[in-house]
Structure 1
Amino acid sequence: MTDPLKLFILAGEPSGDRIAADLVQRLRARVSLSLSGVGGDELKACGLSPLFPMSDLAVMGISDVLRRLPLLLWRVEQTARFIRSTRPDIVVLVDAQDFSRLVAQRLKALGYAGVVILYVAPSVWARAPQRAARLAPLFREVMAVLPFEPAVMQRLGGPPTSYVGHPALAERLDAIEPPERGPLMLLPGSRDGELRRHLPMFRDVLAALGKHPTIDGVVIPTLPALAERLRRETAAWPVPVEIVSERSQRKAVYGRAIAALCVSGTATLELALARLPMVVCYVMDSHQARAFDKLGRPAVSLPNIILGRAVLPELVQAGGVADASISALRALLDNKKARHDQILAFGELSELMQSGEPDFPRQDPADRILSHWAGIQRLSTLS
């Protein structure tokens, strides 16, 4: 009888938790699995008992990181020592780029020689391309969720990289016509700092647009752990807000929604694959704003990045986002053709995400993990 695959998997935020859970489910359909690591609700539902709370790692922006730096450094050390002592067959670090890199560096310093895989490529194409080559000694492979990333990593001398698609592909909807009326979706982010900065702005947007003739209800899809907080914080908003925390309900809501106002992040890709027109926004802290300006204010929404053109309006700044969001969202709600144009572009995006690029076609992430495990088993039989 074959021993189970001993997998250590770490996710640092909800989007990574979903990606990690998808991988675990794919692997469990094919092999026996012994699971350890760090994750949130989705990995817990897969049977993971986290080494520590995933919320310890969910930080965004320099100020958030500085406030929690001692804890983060301790979690790096704790994670690396746990991996070294338990010797899993394969370590998969999902996104959480800075934390994952520090863990991989610490493992190397501790003399750990096991297979370490980074799932979700760092955005070397957006900033600091020299980082790609620095990752080569740390990771056996990178599994990318954006179709253009393997070619970029290859060109920059990074680790071997494969394109494995994204769990958001499960939200794909066939071509649709924009409805005349429907719910407005609001996605304010999931990190504490994002919610603090965006919820007041979203309230102002609703005060201005909540009675627009195309809007039939307002819905915030969120994580179960955030549902009660959002119900409490939106209770006094000028328009009633429905909080949806069950993932199984989201696709149906997306299919009848009129449009969305969405904080930049993975959710923009999910909405695009569900063919839901949107305006993308982000309220930055002062450190983020300075860094963003230094980078030349690049595109931030995944649909725009993947397609290489401005399909979606992006409103990213340290302040004054409410007025700009009201104007952009009103223009989208007033113009059915603008919504239809976004839906057409999302169809192009969907096909590219589904198939990958010609030189780097989409692969099953479980296949990539199992290929490494097969190599480990071959070596063990020879030794």
Structure 2
Amino acid sequence: MPIRASGRVGRTIFLIATEESGDRLGAALMKVLRQRLGDAVRFEGVGGQSMAREGLTSLFAIQELSIIGFAGVVKQLPKVLRLIRETVGAVMRAQPDILVIIDSPDFTHRVARRVRARDPAIPIVDYVSPSVWAWRPGRARAMRGYIDHVLALLPFEPREYSRLHGPPCSYVGHPLTEQIGTLRPSLEEQKRRDQAPPALLVLPGSRRSEIRHHVKIFGEALGRLQAEGVAFELILPTMPHLTEMVRESVKDWSVTPRIVAGEPEKRAAFRIAHAALAKSGTVTLELALAGVPMITAYRVGAAEAWILRRAIKANSVILANLVLGENVIPEFLQEDCTPEKLVGALHEVLSDSPMRLRQVEAFAGIGDIMSTGNLSPSVRAADIVLATLRKSRGV
């Protein structure tokens, strides 16, 4: 068995994930690490239900950090600072062979900086890059002081870290690349995708604040589209815990969507969809991999809009555009997110317009751009975590 520098048997890996998406990444990473290290590995840290199933007892429930928006962060700042202190203390007591922080940079990077200051010998890997290419690019250079390696989910990110003089960064792959088979239509589903009336997806968001910001504008745009004589079957995918809120939010829409809840149901809707109206975010990558042309929109509160407008440096906020390297998907942000502008774009994306055809052509190659070959993202991530651990420990 391997011996830690402290003299204890085995390896201790401390992981921190405070959102559901990070929890799923952490669980997949833990599974591969256990396959590689067997019973000689012990996990500690912060995570959700997925990581708990892989054997992690979380320091606290990740729901304690379910804070949305600038106002929410300010209101709960004392609690956030307390949890940061408690997490740093737990890392120091565990004296792990390596610390892996997963997404949630506002929390995890504050922990990482404090850990590095207190014990520079603990190697730190950051799984999921903060959006240094979009805003606050100076963070990349600053990360060199406390991050040993960045595991990127997007293929262009290593190039950006090199440009911004950040720490070593490797593309390990996005978990969506393992799910392309559930996103692409069968022959029968492709027939439905091409049939009239076209299936139109509406995706106002996966957070309550996003739904509140988008639901009225989206509903007005879709009502106008229908009033102008455009026929479509409207489908609104959501998550089970949001179903009642969504149902209540759309009750005044003049066009009634078919609401489908849950991940399998969402994927089934993607496979028959002809087009989509979506809020910006990871869902744009899902739609692109599914080959669904779309228009995108996003609104936030006035305070957040003021901050983001001055901070964002990227040419697009749409992940699919950034991966493709060209702005093929129209985006209607903040004051441009109006029913009038959305209706005009919906006409285009539902017809055989140049905009729609350009998206179809671009999406045909996005799977190749994001490919990781024969290794899954979690395997590639585990390889780098173990290589960083061995390099640091001199084994």
Please give the TM-score of this superposition, normalised by the length of structure 1.
0.84
Q: Are residues 52 and 218 of structure 1, via their aligned partners in 2, closer, same or farther at CA, if it must alter by over 3 Å?
A: same
Q: Per-residue deviation at 1:64?
A: 2.9
Q: Which amino acid letter does the alignment assign opposite residue 339 of structure 1? A: R
State the alpha-carbon separation in 2 of the partners of residues 163 and 132 from structure 1: 16
Please say if residues 141 and 164 of structure 2, whose CA atoms lie closer than 8 Å, have aligned partners that are also in contact. Answer: yes
Q: Are residues 341 and 18 of structure 1, via their aligned partners in 2, closer, same or farther at CA, if it must alter by over 3 Å?
A: farther
State the alpha-carbon separation in 2 of the partners of residues 204 and 48 from structure 1: 46
Correspondence list, 1:1-383, <5 A? 5-32=11-38, 34-111=42-119, 113-172=121-180, 179-181=194-196, 182-209=198-225, 215-222=232-239, 224-234=240-250, 237-238=253-254, 239-245=256-262, 247-294=263-310, 295=312, 298-318=315-335, 320-335=337-352, 338-355=355-372, 364-375=380-391, 378-379=394-395
State the alpha-carbon separation in 2 of the partners of residues 36 and 236 from structure 1: 48
| SS class of match (2:45) | strand
Q: Are residues 72 and 190 of structure 1, via their aligned partners in 2, closer, same or farther at CA, if it must alter by over 3 Å?
A: farther
| SS class of match (2:133) | coil
Q: Per-residue deviation at 1:283?
A: 0.5
Q: Are residues 194 and 7 of structure 1, via their aligned partners in 2, closer, same or farther at CA, if it must alter by over 3 Å?
A: farther
Q: Are residues 25 and 179 of structure 1, via their aligned partners in 2, closer, same or farther at CA, if it must alter by over 3 Å?
A: farther
Please say if residues 237 and 266 of structure 2, whose CA atoms lie closer than 8 Å, have aligned partners that are also in contact. Answer: no
Q: In terms of mean alpha carbon deviation, does 144-153 or 44-53 score higher?
A: 44-53
Q: Per-residue deviation at 1:218?
A: 1.1
| SS class of match (2:344) | helix
Q: Per-residue deviation at 1:354?
A: 0.7
State the alpha-carbon separation in 2 of the partners of residues 199 and 52 from structure 1: 33
Q: Are residues 186 and 26 of structure 1, via their aligned partners in 2, closer, same or farther at CA, if it must alter by over 3 Å?
A: farther
Q: In terms of mean alpha carbon deviation, does 86-95 or 99-108 score higher?
A: 86-95
Give identity over the alignment, percent.
Answer: 34
State the alpha-carbon separation in 2 of the partners of residues 207 and 101 from structure 1: 44
Q: Which amino acid letter does the alignment assign opposite residue 331 of structure 1? A: E
State the alpha-carbon separation in 2 of the partners of residues 6 and 231 from structure 1: 46
Q: Per-residue deviation at 1:149?
A: 1.3
Q: Which amino acid letter does the alignment assign opposite residue 291 of structure 1? A: I
Whose Rg is larger? 2
Structure 2: tracts of 5 or more residues without a match? 3-8
Q: Per-residue deviation at 1:210?
A: 6.0
Q: Which amino acid letter does the alignment assign opposite residue 179 of structure 1? A: D
Structure 1: tracts of 5 or more residues without a match? none
Q: Per-residue deviation at 1:267?
A: 1.6
| SS class of match (2:347) | helix
Q: Per-residue deviation at 1:235?
A: 5.2
State the alpha-carbon separation in 2 of the partners of residues 125 and 166 from structure 1: 17
| SS class of match (1:124) | coil
State the alpha-carbon separation in 2 of the partners of residues 232 and 48 from structure 1: 37
Please give the TM-score of this superposition, normalised by the length of structure 2.
0.82
State the alpha-carbon separation in 2 of the partners of residues 65 and 259 from structure 1: 35
Q: Per-residue deviation at 1:363?
A: 7.7
Q: Per-residue deviation at 1:81?
A: 1.2
Q: Are residues 213 and 57 of structure 1, via their aligned partners in 2, closer, same or farther at CA, if it must alter by over 3 Å?
A: same
Please say if residues 214 and 258 of structure 1, whose CA atoms lie closer than 8 Å, have aligned partners that are also in contact. Answer: no
Q: What are the Cα deviations for residues 283-302 of structure 1, in whole angstroms up to 9, with x where unaligned?
A: 02212322343246731001
**Count of equivalent residues:** 373
Q: Are residues 298 and 233 of structure 1, via their aligned partners in 2, closer, same or farther at CA, if it must alter by over 3 Å?
A: same
Q: Are residues 48 and 375 of structure 1, via their aligned partners in 2, closer, same or farther at CA, if it must alter by over 3 Å?
A: same
Q: Are residues 87 and 190 of structure 1, via their aligned partners in 2, closer, same or farther at CA, if it must alter by over 3 Å?
A: farther
